[in-house]
Chain A
Amino acid sequence: KQEVTQIPAALSVPEGENLVLNCSFTDSAIYNLQWFRQDPGKGLTSLLLIQSSQREQTSGRLNASLDKSSGRSTLYIAASQPGDSATYLCAVNYNNAGNMLTFGGGTRLMVKP
């Protein structure tokens, strides 16, 4: 079964710290990998999408990398702020799944002032 795993499940850091969230997947045959943000009780907001041919994507203080051969992606957040507090979800579009995404369980991030 194709799965997506995110570690850690929860993370608490002081404001200003640089941090890395991890995502691992079980099959390297993927179309793309996405990182989403979810605030409590809300829907998901797409942060970054990395196509299978790409190694990384950047948006502002966020940088996502993709290593298909090892089945890993990381989301790097620079100079974290309290407003970054949310749950971050990784989702993989596997080649044999058409348009369906497989989600990880998420990492709940708290950035303390």
Chain B
Amino acid sequence: DVKVTQSSRYLVKRTGEKVFLECVQDMDHENMFWYRQDPGLGLRLIYFSYDVKMKEKGDIPEGYSVSREKKERFSLILESASTNQTSMYLCASSLVGATDTQYFGPGTRLTVL
């Protein structure tokens, strides 16, 4: 079974802090994704990566950056957390083909005070 794990289920940070959210997958998938999910707005793609050190912006990249130094690990970075970044963050991975399903992690509920 594909397993996608996220470093924390719940996280509370203060405004202005630098926040790291980590995602690890164990199926040698090329693609990895970061989404945020908000009530009434659904799931929105922040960034995705199709290879080590490669990244592409999604729909809402502002205020975020990403890092992919190893194939199995994809990190989402909030350089200076703000209250409007309070959200559920979901990581996913898939094989390289556009026809392949995405497998999701359990999510991280981030609260920025």
Chain B binds chain A = yes
Docked complex: B19-45 residues within 8 A CB-CB of A: 31, 33, 40, 42-45
Q: Is B104 an interface residue (CB 8 A)?
A: yes
For chain A, give the interface size range.
20 to 34
Please state if B102 and A101 are interface contacts (CB–CB under 8 Å): yes
- Count contacts on B: residues with CB < 8 A to the other chain: 27
Residue among B33, B101, B109 with most chain A CB within 10 A: B101
B48 in contact (CB, < 8 A)? yes
Contact B42–A105 (Cβ < 8 Å): yes
Chain B 94-111 near chain A by CB (<8 Å), digits 1 or 0: 101011011111110100
| A22 at the binding interface (Cβ < 8 Å) | no
The reply to whether B42 and A100 form a contact with Cβ atoms under 8 Å apart is no
Given the interface pairs A43-B90, A89-B43, A104-B42, the reply to whether A99 lies near B106 with Cβ below 8 Å is: no
Identify which of B48, B96, B104 contacts A43 (C-beta below 8 A): B104
Contacts of B99 in A (CB 8 A): 31-32, 51, 93
Q: Is the CB of B98 within 8 A of A98?
A: yes
Chain A residues positioned under 8 Å from B4 (CB to CB): 43
Question: A93 → chain B, closest Cβ, in Å?
Answer: 6
Q: Mark A99-113, 1 if CB is under 8 A from B, else 0.
A: 111011110000000
Name the 7 nearest CB pairs between A and B, nearest first. Answer: A43-B104, A44-B104, A103-B43, A31-B98, A43-B106, A105-B42, A46-B101
Q: Which residues of A contact B (CB under 8 A)?
A: 31-32, 34, 36, 41-46, 49, 51, 89, 91, 93, 98-101, 103-106
